[in-house]
Amino acid sequence: MNPLNVDVEAARAAWRQADEPSLRRRRWIAGLAAAGLVDFAIISLYQLGVIRHLPDPPGRVFESDKVNASPKAFATGVPDGTLGALLYAATMVLAAAGGTRKTGRSRIFDWLLAGAAIAGAAGALDYLRDMIFKQQRACPYCLTGAAINLAVVPLALKELR
């Protein structure tokens, strides 16, 4: 056994072969978080100056460069894209931790996963408010991230049952 009291071999087998509702939900959560991680890696590279311009779809409403270089995007002193990427990575870890109840997954991981999902959704809604009312421009990368964050919440909350 490991420090988390997880049967590692059984957890590995469950992840690779089992098909129970909790694993299916957490696979979806991990897949959504992986997509969000890619999305926010692109935003992060722009905010860090690696990428000089974020391409936008046609339309006057889109201006990703403005949104991702705004004061709100750097409010903590850290580019928010990197914080979002960190949250997506943590969400993947929390979705994966411990396998199943039979293999030793602790309920604490379900609570932490739900907390991460709620934090991501709250951050997304706050950022959407800022884009609409202050920036008056939209960022398709941010909208994608917001949709992912909102989609994870009901999946994560079902894990608390």
Domains in the chain (CATH in brackets) are 8-158 (1.20.1440.130)
pLDDT digits (tens, 9 = 90+) for 62-111: 999 999 999 999 999 999 999 999 999 999 999 999 899 999 899 999 99
d(CA 93, CA 87): 10
CA dihedral 137, 138, 142, 144 (to 10 degrees): 170
CA dihedral 15, 85, 129, 65 (to 10 degrees): -140
* Average pLDDT value for the chain: 95
* pLDDT of residue 156 exceeding 60: yes
> How large is the average pLDDT for residues 10-36?
94
**Is 114:160 a contact under the CB 8 Å cutoff?**
yes
Question: What is the predicted pLDDT for the residue at 149?
Answer: 98
**Is 146:75 a contact under the CB 8 Å cutoff?**
no
d(CA 129, CA 72): 11
Model confidence at 140, pLDDT cuts 50, 70, 90, reads very high
CA dihedral 151, 153, 90, 37 (to 10 degrees): 10
pTM of the predicted protein model: 0.93
Question: What is the predicted pLDDT for the residue at 3?
Answer: 64
> How large is the average pLDDT for residues 140-148?
98
* pLDDT of residue 130 exceeding 90: yes
> How large is the average pLDDT for residues 103-121?
96
